[in-house]
Copies of this chain bind each other. A is one copy, B any other.
């Protein structure tokens, strides 16, 4: 039987690797898309390439979109990454690491790739639990995007593809994500989460991403295979 194609957005992080593993376990043939939007370090992209290989994707497109030309985010500008915050602080407001319209840009490009390769299904690893401050990680946003996508495209309008955004992790805790990934055989040693790694790519252990990741592994009762500077 021929496998149905799906596009999966791979960031190099733990969540998108798990979303890819879920899509694969559901029988899809994966087209991975990684957007280099001017991140401050290259370790995320290297992780995305490792994950794509491990997932045996049919094709991995790495596309540069230099959002740093717009300014406006800690992940692309020289603003300090916050450290050692507790979860109430992380969720109190939209984080400084928010990138304007990021998921909309990512999903639009995923949609363009999906229409080109004939994939109706788009997978992404967004999560509304750990990132409750990000407007573009919420189910109502994803629904609005799907509706728009089916009006935006030749395939959607002609009815040959009915685009669907899959966000399987959206209401899972980090521990639940990690447990599911472990069962599916995800090698989390290939992934990268830290916002502020050292020059060798080792995770800082103190930014929001590291804190959430470590807590997730602890709660899942599993060991995090990556190296931390402290």
> Which chain A residues have a beta carbon within 8 Å of chain B's beta carbons?
61, 63-67, 69-72, 94, 98-105, 107-109, 111-113, 115-117, 135-136, 138, 140-141, 144-145, 147-149, 151-158
5 tightest A-B contacts by CB? Answer: A100-B115, A72-B116, A101-B112, A144-B148, A108-B108
- Is A63 a contact partner of B61 (Cβ separation < 8 A)? no
Residue of A61, A65, A112, A113 with most partner-chain B CB within 10 A: A112
- Is B152 a contact partner of A136 (Cβ separation < 8 A)? yes
Give Cα A69–Cα B64 distance, bound, in whole angstroms: 11
- Is A148 a contact partner of B141 (Cβ separation < 8 A)? yes
Contacts of A140 in B (CB 8 A): 151
The 8 Å CB contact of A63, one of B66, B104, B135, is B66
Given A65-B63, A148-B144: A101 in contact with B111 (beta carbons within 8 A): yes
Min Cβ gap A109→B in Å is: 6
Min Cβ gap A75→B in Å is: 13
Give Cα A61–Cα B67 distance, bound, in whole angstroms: 10
The 8 Å CB contact of A61, one of B70, B136, B151, is B70
18 more contacts with CB within 8 A, not counting A94-B158, A104-B111, A147-B147, are A61-B70, A63-B65, A65-B65, A65-B109, A70-B112, A101-B115, A101-B152, A104-B112, A104-B149, A104-B152, A105-B108, A105-B112, A136-B152, A138-B151, A140-B151, A141-B148, A144-B144, A148-B148
Give Cα A47–Cα B61 distance, bound, in whole angstroms: 30
- Is A135 a contact partner of B112 (Cβ separation < 8 A)? no
Closest to A109 in B: B105
Closest to A138 in B: B151
- Is B66 a contact partner of A100 (Cβ separation < 8 A)? no
Closest to A103 in B: B152
Contacts of A102 in B (CB 8 A): 112
The 8 Å CB contact of A108, one of B66, B72, B104, B116, is B104
